[in-house]
A and B are shown apart, each in its own frame.
Chain A
């Protein structure tokens, strides 16, 4: 089949404005991913096309982009999902809400700053168990934060959030998901500190439950539900 791609291009060095690059590819298979098509453009038509990718299998989270208006990982989005028949039209843009460095590459630093702000690491200063081995946890306790351990920090959720678009100070869904992962871990002792961080003006209360984050997550994490659980923990005082 034939694929017609519109790719948002931007080169800060040339002083030019963002514009759409139009590309046509023949011999495209339904099983090709959008990343495969972008590779073909870069390798066969325009070597200056700039994008991030690493594992190409939906694990590293490098290639989150806006595909046909919705955030997704380019490597996990197959042509079959975007159209069928003899031709398919695909529009690719960088994720919104973060400064564009070049073409499809955005500056992830504001996102990472929010990530670091929730202290996404294990906190427990108590002495190690007497047997000197691991801190035990029930299956039920592990289950509480199982979903949020799946986050790969691709930023698809945060950059699909209208509250984040409106104000970049909002800590964003991804950082709250990371906070959730530790807040609800029975072995962790930093829940109160983290909850006070996301209880701030630009914390969880900026979430308007638009559900864009849940739709965008390539790992199918129930992001809005996790945010609601954090809100509930703050209001009830029970974790």
Chain B
């Protein structure tokens, strides 16, 4: 008798995707965030971390893409972690829903605002 696997279909649910996002973004952030810290603070001395350095870096679209990806993954990752911690302590469902909505709006605005800054930044204006 052969060992058999069953195919099953489960309901879609936000918590499931939030959990998967945390795991996958966590792996990506391990490289992106550590790389960012290494480049900004160790390879380039922290005392040289000026606007000119950022302008030089962002003259390359590759670095803008790197920083945009870091932004898009890190902010929602932090948001979801905070939401989980708050859910542990706030058992009033209505209050938790309000806090979740406020946090979600904050995250969306922060990501969009920061993306606009990264994309529209003109390195030539610094020189």
Contacts and interface: CB of A to CB of B under 8 A. Distances in A.
- Contact-residue bracket for chain A: 20 to 34
Contacts of B13: 199-201
B20 A233 contact: no
A203 B14 CA distance: 12
A201 B15 contact: yes
Contacts, number: 58
Nearest to B4: A186
Task: Determine chain B's interface SS by DSSP, over half rule.
Answer: loop
A166 B88 contact: yes
Contacts of B4: 141, 186
- Contact-residue bracket for chain B: 20 to 34
A237 B8 contact: yes
Interface string A203-237: 10100100000000000000000000001011101
Contacts of B6: 186, 191, 238-239
Contact of A196 (B5, B10, B84, B88): B10
A138 B8 contact: no
A159 interface: no
A186 B4 CA distance: 7
Interface string B1-33: 111111111110101101110000000000000
A138 B3 contact: yes
Nearest to A207: B19
B113 interface: no
A138 B16 contact: no
Interface of A: 136-138, 140-141, 163, 166-167, 186, 191-192, 195-196, 199-201, 203, 205, 208, 231, 233-235, 237-239
